[in-house]
A = this chain, B = another copy of it.
Amino acid sequence: MELIIQNIEKIVSLSEQEKELILSKIEIRKYKAKTVLLNDGEVSKYSYFVNSGILRSFNINDNIAEHVLHFACEGWWIGDMYSLLSQKPGNLFIEVNEEAEVVLLSKENQEELYLRIPKLERFFRILTENSLVAHQERLMDNLSLSAEERFEKFCSKYPTLIQRVPQKQIASYIGVTPEFFSKMKAKMLKK
């Protein structure tokens, strides 16, 4: 059974026809690692749902530093919300971190689904609410915790990611340089 249907049914229940309608409105694609799904400066057309593998979203500051906004592995949604909603060029990249199977839901299809299956409004409202809560927490953590504490939180929240993504991307996610991260990790191991 499609993972995306299970994901939706965690929040709203669906009839067989509704499931089929949803499945008819999505595309499933496979990508190799390092494939770029969305470039900085492009207008985003899709929401992405990860069936397998890992994607990440990030921006690049002054052509120098990369800042990871989000990782998404199996069962997670990812996208450039700003660009998708405003239909203006965004400043996020979305890239395949690890060979992935991805469900693509276009903005038009998403809106058509809202009209034909109104309870999907509820599903995406709740999904967005949960994401907002997570972002608020991360924001407050960045204001009030040390790098070490942020890393510990990251580890307990995303234990599976630690082994699967390059350490410099974790450094970027928690907001430190790879060099400092390496030093910090060595220091933490001594304890």
Contact = CB atoms under 8 A, between A and B. Distances in A.
Interface residues of A, number: 31
Contacts of A121: 118, 121-122, 125
Nearest to A85: B129
A189 interface: no
A180 interface: no
A143 B60 CA distance: 11
Contact of A133 (B81, B122, B175): B81
A140 B175 CA distance: 9
Interface stretch (A25-33, A61-69, A160-168): A61-69
A8 to B, nearest CB: 15
A144 interface: yes
A159 to B, nearest CB: 22
Contacts of A136: 69, 81-82, 135
Given A59-B140, A128-B128, 11 more contacts: A65-B144, A82-B136, A85-B130, A124-B125, A128-B129, A128-B132, A132-B132, A132-B135, A135-B135, A142-B142, A142-B175
Interface of A: 59, 61, 65, 67, 69, 81-82, 85, 114, 118, 121-122, 124-125, 128-133, 135-140, 142-144, 172, 175
29 contacts: A59-B140, A61-B144, A65-B144, A67-B140, A67-B143, A67-B144, A69-B136, A81-B129, A81-B136, A82-B133, A82-B136, A82-B137, A85-B129, A85-B130, A85-B133, A114-B122, A118-B118, A121-B121, A121-B122, A121-B125, A124-B125, A125-B128, A132-B135, A135-B135, A139-B142, A142-B142, A142-B143, A142-B175, A143-B175
